[in-house]
A and B are shown apart, each in its own frame.
Chain A
Amino acid sequence: MTRHDSTAPRFTVLESSVAPLPFDHVDTDQIIPAQFLKTTVREGLGRGLFDSWRGQTHGGEPFVLDDPRFESAQILVAGENFGCGSSREHAPWALLDYGFRAVVSTRFADIFRSNALRNGLLTVQVPGSVQEGLMSRAFESPGALVRIDLERQVLTTPWGEEVEFEVDAFARRCLLEGLDPMGYLLAHQPQIEEWEAANPQPFDTRECGAA
């Protein structure tokens, strides 16, 4: 019942080029369409990432994942409300499997952010001016490096600006120290038992006669 797990997802510092995805309200159905959800494992979903946008052009430009200029980017910069819609954790699994380690946006949907952080995909919320700057710099000079330092909670832009960002304090500890949320919950078993003793279970789902 360890609270620290050597296999837990980690994140410290990431330095990478950026892939720009200049759309708002990118929903998890776009990130990983429903036809890929029939899997029973977490691995291998990268092949379905943005499946319906792959091979298409947008305003004359190839879709960002088809553009060789952004091939090695590990940071995705997206529009506001990234990850809205379905709670499918397959979305961060697909982004990670494809090779992304962080997503930068002005605002994330709640469930996506929680799912991403649990898997070590860092969500970095920045002001609109920074997001726009990162987006246009990525188009102008693909390969320009962005540095994300979770310990200091600072993103360094290609033009050398240091931007502080907020991140859930518990998620930060999990990623920096390898703290395991399941282990953390299991360590609180006495308190859970105490709660259960004080709050009797009103009904039992097994009494509905389901198989």
Chain B
Amino acid sequence: MGYPVTSNGTGQPQTLFEKIWRRHEVVAPEEPGLPSILYVDLHLVHEVTSPQAFAELEQRSLSVRRPGRTLATMDHSTPTDPEVGWERLRVLDPAAAGQLDQLVESCWRHGVPLLALGDSRRGIVHVVGPELGATQPGSVIVCGDSHTSTHGAFGALAFGIGTTEVGHVLATQCLLQRKPKTMEVHVRGSLADGVGAKDLILGIIAAIGVDGGTGHVIEYTGETVRSLDMEGRMTVCNMSIEAGARAGMISPDDVTLSYLRDRPFVPTGSEWTRAEADWRSLATDDGASFDRRVELEASSLEPMITWGVHPGTAVPVSGRIPQLEDVATPQRPNFEKALRYMGFQAGEELRGRQVDVVFVGSCTNSRLSDLETAAQVMEGRRVAPGVRMLVVPGSQQVKAAAEAEGLDQVFLAAGAEWREAGCSMCLAMNDDRLRPGQLAVSTSNRNFEGRQGPGGRTLLASPLTAAAAAVAGHVTDPRELM
């Protein structure tokens, strides 16, 4: 066990990213054009993107190099209906059950710890890591899932990888990586009442574009970001990939450290003291430079909602879809295609539009504070007739904590469904999906065509805006219910 306190030895101001990269570069490029070999501290695994990687290991007669740096969970295709256990899943969805069975077998064979169905700590991979304290500042964390960027909220370098790379990490605990560029997104101003981390990240993506971060690792800085709690920071970093960035990160500070303290994998006693000093030293130095820098003002930000088929299409919930003449000519075919899919008109208001489904969940917004926010709106109110509301906690631990506060009773009394933890309707791999044509307000991260079920239409928003839509039965400014 050890947390070395190291200086970078260069004396030059460095970014958080630079410090982590330097520390984990096992082999620097041996000649121009070759990638670095980067060490991975924590490898998170789930059922959907790992089977072919484990198969590759079998084929090559390789074993998992560091099972103790690997943690597996089941989240993507697991049922959230409390009535559907493992046995019924085998009947209802044999393919999903087969994938889960294969994960159990692979983990057993290689000694990889697995939070399986029935485990009280199981949940969405990006909720479970932080919750257990496995997500720690200064680490390199990877997973075969693009929302791995979530863990960057702790000052870790965390990013999604493909299945071939999952195999590389399983076998060698390392990855071949070309060093990405860095980008600072600096946000000033305090968020208004009713405006939260989800609105902030939707605003950032609308400002820099759905590919504004491509090739870069984003560090979010500034007073607005500092003022967010850890769950808000995770929401922001989670959606970095929706701006095309490899990763998003936030330098560790008091907020980070107080969240981590006393979590299962976090050290105690003198080890904590050493770790704390090391983690604090990782923060980006004053005067460190980024390849790109963007400044944004957050005080005028309003609750945001998307109208289109990618996450870069957020507008204020009280605003309108752009007019055709406001869209650059080359972009007009995409714009018109998105409107056709959504069944919307250019220049139209979203407020007042009837919704069919409200989904509160996903690795973006399924933590306790998200559920508390939604419950505050639902308290003493009812889900509007004709609306289905699904509340899916991010982990079984979140579920238990919410139940201890009585949030489940608030949701159930309002007429919402209270589910078991999982990815659920974010990507609709299980039975939680929209029917063709249905319109959902969703706290998830992607409004791609059919993402929440073939033919389904998604408006991305915060837990507050989503809960307000459930009560009103249509898109509404949540501040009217506060």
Chain B residues, CB < 8 A from A40:
51-52, 55, 98-99, 102
Question: A142 near B: Cβ within 8 Å?
Answer: no
Given contacts A110-B214, A191-B37, A200-B2, contact A206 B67 (CB under 8 A): yes
Contact of A81 among B4, B113, B172, B211 (CB under 8 A): B211
Question: B32 near A: Cβ within 8 Å?
Answer: yes
> How distant is B121 from chain A, measured CB to nearest CB, in Å?
7
The tally of residues in B whose CB lies under 8 Å from a CB in A reads: 93
Given contacts A208-B132, A210-B71, contact A81 B214 (CB under 8 A): yes
Residue of B nearest to A35 (CB): B429
Question: B361 near A: Cβ within 8 Å?
Answer: no
Check if B70 sits within 8 Å of A205, measured CB to CB. yes
In the complex, per-residue mask of B13-52: 1 if CB is within 8 Å of any chain A CB, else 0: 0000000000100110000111101010110000011011
Residue of A nearest to B176 (CB): A181
In the complex, per-residue mask of A74-97: 1 if CB is within 8 Å of any chain B CB, else 0: 000001110011111100000000
Chain B residues, CB < 8 A from A195:
26, 39
Check if B49 sits within 8 Å of A87, measured CB to CB. yes
Given contacts A38-B98, A184-B176, contact A199 B310 (CB under 8 A): no
Chain A residues, CB < 8 A from B215:
110
Contact of A169 among B27, B34, B160, B171 (CB under 8 A): B34
Question: B244 near A: Cβ within 8 Å?
Answer: yes
Chain B residues, CB < 8 A from A201:
1, 66, 68-69
Check if A29 sits within 8 Å of B451, measured CB to CB. yes
> How distant is A198 from chain B, measured CB to nearest CB, in Å?
8
Residue of B nearest to A92 (CB): B162
B76-127 interface (Cβ within 8 A of A):
76-77, 93, 95-96, 98-99, 102, 111, 113-116, 119, 121
CA distance A119 to B163 in the complex (A): 11
Question: B415 near A: Cβ within 8 Å?
Answer: no
Check if A206 sits within 8 Å of B68, measured CB to CB. yes
Given contacts A33-B450, A85-B448, A89-B49, contact A111 B162 (CB under 8 A): yes
Question: A115 near B: Cβ within 8 Å?
Answer: yes
Check if A188 sits within 8 Å of B446, measured CB to CB. no
CA distance A25 to B312 in the complex (A): 10
CA distance A209 to B449 in the complex (A): 40
> How distant is A162 from chain B, measured CB to nearest CB, in Å?
22
CA distance A6 to B41 in the complex (A): 32
Residue of B nearest to A128 (CB): B330
Question: A22 near B: Cβ within 8 Å?
Answer: yes
CA distance A81 to B173 in the complex (A): 30
Chain B residues, CB < 8 A from A119:
164
> How distant is A121 from chain B, measured CB to nearest CB, in Å?
12
Check if A210 sits within 8 Å of B121, measured CB to CB. yes
Question: B136 near A: Cβ within 8 Å?
Answer: yes
Residue of B nearest to A185 (CB): B172
Given contacts A40-B98, A205-B70, contact A87 B162 (CB under 8 A): yes
Check if A22 sits within 8 Å of B333, measured CB to CB. yes
Chain A residues, CB < 8 A from B32:
169
CA distance A47 to B2 in the complex (A): 50
Chain A residues, CB < 8 A from B67:
205-206
CA distance A111 to B174 in the complex (A): 17
Contact of B244 among A30, A84, A87, A192 (CB under 8 A): A84
Check if A27 sits within 8 Å of B244, measured CB to CB. no
In the complex, per-residue mask of A19-42: 1 if CB is within 8 Å of any chain B CB, else 0: 000111101011001110111111
CA distance A52 to B144 in the complex (A): 24
Question: A202 near B: Cβ within 8 Å?
Answer: yes
CA distance A100 to B366 in the complex (A): 39
B434-472 interface (Cβ within 8 A of A):
446, 448-451, 454-455
Check if A87 sits within 8 Å of B144, measured CB to CB. yes
9 additional A-B pairs beyond A79-B334, A185-B168, A195-B26, beta carbons within 8 Å, are A34-B428, A87-B144, A170-B33, A170-B35, A182-B168, A191-B37, A200-B1, A202-B275, A208-B132
6 A-B contacts, Cβ less than 8 Å apart? A109-B244, A119-B164, A185-B171, A200-B4, A201-B66, A210-B119
Point out residues on B near A: beta carbons under 8 Å: 1-4, 23, 26-27, 32-35, 37, 39, 41-42, 48-49, 51-52, 55-56, 60, 62, 66-71, 76-77, 93, 95-96, 98-99, 102, 111, 113-116, 119, 121, 132, 134, 136, 144-146, 160-165, 167-168, 171-174, 176, 178, 180, 210-211, 214-215, 241-242, 244, 246, 264-267, 275, 310, 331, 333-334, 337, 427-429, 446, 448-451, 454-455
Point out residues on A near B: beta carbons under 8 Å: 22-25, 27, 29-30, 33-35, 37-42, 52, 58, 79-81, 84-89, 107, 109-111, 114-115, 118-119, 168-170, 181-182, 184-186, 188-189, 191-192, 194-196, 199-208, 210-211
